[in-house]
Amino acid sequence: MTQFSEGPRLAFLQAADADLIAENMVAFANTEGGTIIVGLQADGSPSNTPASGFEIEKALRRADDLYNPPVVIEKWGEIVSHSAGQPAESLPDRGDNGGGAGPGFSARASAYAIQVPRSTELHALADGRVLIRSGSVNRPLGGQEIQRLASAKNTGDFETEAVAGATIDDFSRAMIDEYLEKRAERTKRPYSGEVKRVLAEIGAVTAEGKPTVCGLLLFSEYPQRWLPQSGVVFAKFVGTTPRGESGLAGYSRREELIGPVPRLIEATWNLVWSEMAISAVVKGLEREETFEYPQFAVREALVNAICHRDYRLRGRRIEVRMFSDRLEVISPGGLPGFITVENIKDEHFSRNPRLVGGLFHWGYIEELGLGIDRMMEVMQQAGHSPPKFDARPYSFAIALHNERTQPELPEWSRDTNHRQARALQYIRETGSITNREYRSLIQTVSAETLRLDLVDLVEKGILTKMGAKKGTYYVLRE
């Protein structure tokens, strides 16, 4: 069986335990949805006591009495050994009898998958616990978190609402074909069914075939016809504030961007890229170009804003503001559900899960739920301060600052010439330096001068000479 691991949308159970099934169903329904696989151990290996279709059916019936309101199961069915990793969307639909042990549900199955969709209702267990999926565990919410999640649920599922006046003819077939191609690349499973069916599965159209908000955002060439708030406004300012001299607007460039969200992401990224400062640094013996902001951090901030903004707010578009010292991406709508600035790195909840799913399959999201964490990492790796988050009731902003923290050399290293300073920086990066490496680093003076530079650093107690003859190298003295 293919090995894979538990995560935000995947849980393993060794046996058909009704209590554990109920807990995972509630957690998935309250968060992003997910799949429970019964018949696997925690490490993804097969259970020693695989369940049968009859046992799954019995456990599901008992689980129905362990939560309120009822949790909908989208699909459940057998996963045989040779296809353990297949997506749950390929499982047979659950019928009125819950699937049972009919065709495709034999007692020899190695595992069974239960697919739970995200719910628009707030679900609790019989003992009163409200669970969410947090990483690979189910976490109970506190009182305030429950209120925030309930408030988010009560807003309804706006992205799947039909848009008055729009028809499926307003979709671009080229955009649909591009999506299907990218999705096949990501899932390794080309889609060969009807296009209308896949559009319904991903929430792009209603059961009656009417385009939804999500569908228009993904596949219409001009969704702003129906959703004028779905564009992006870009402004490049000359200083650190939006105002110029005499109270006038201080921007040097302003653009309004429109189009479906995949094109919007690319157009906004290209615009920021064209305005981004580029510098060059020498690392070791290599000259390397560095960008004003890490590319991943910028793209993640843009994708986050487009994915998670509140599209119900019609009076404001996403704003990208580029100042001399920072880049701000401002998204209409506060943080969704139980997410706060304090837990944003560890928790995940989407306001628009179908839009997120579409962009994930398109390739604009690398790994669901890990973007903020990675954004922080790349900013730190580039020597920048961490992203700053500003959460307000009707907006959320991410600010990336472009200052770099330059590591200071020890006090004693300041009594050196510019060549020796280069050598010391090289040692700090690589751990040591040889005469040959120093000559490659500084090619404008004689080898004897460079040898004397190293001798001087040893005499000053800055470096220690190691090895002998051709094996000589120098390291910083402890």
Query: What are 222-242's pLDDT values in tens digits?
Result: 999 999 999 999 999 988 888
Topology given in CATH for the domain delimited by 411-476: Arc Repressor Mutant, subunit A (1.10.10)
Cβ(350)–Cβ(337) under 8 Å? no
Tokens of 471: 């094996």
Tokens of 419: 């060549």
pLDDT surpassing 60 at residue 80: no
% of the chain beyond a pLDDT of 90: 55
Cβ(20)–Cβ(36) under 8 Å? no
Between CA 276 and CA 285 the distance in angstroms is 25
Alpha carbon distances (Å) from 199 to 194, 334, 454? 9, 29, 69
Strands (E), 22-108: 34-38, 67-68, 75-79
Closest CA to 295 of 318, 317, 270: 270
Strands (E), 247-367: 251-257, 278-283, 286-291, 318-322, 326-332
pLDDT surpassing 50 at residue 27: yes
> How, if at all, do strands 137-140 and 232-237 pair?
unpaired
Lowest-pLDDT range, 248-252, 261-265, 379-383?
A: 248-252
Note the CATH architecture for domain 10-141. 2-Layer Sandwich (3.30)
pLDDT for residue 369: 65
Q: What is the pTM of this model?
A: 0.72
What residue segments make up the domains of the chain, in order of their start? 10-141, 159-223, 228-401, 411-476
pLDDT surpassing 60 at residue 412: no
pLDDT surpassing 50 at residue 19: yes
Chain centroid, CA 407 distance in Å: 30
Between CA 398 and CA 384 the distance in angstroms is 14
pLDDT in tens, 130-144: 999 998 999 999 999
Cβ(213)–Cβ(166) under 8 Å? no
Q: Which amino acid is at 248?
A: L
10-141 and 228-401 share one fold: no
Structural class in CATH, domain 228-401: alpha beta
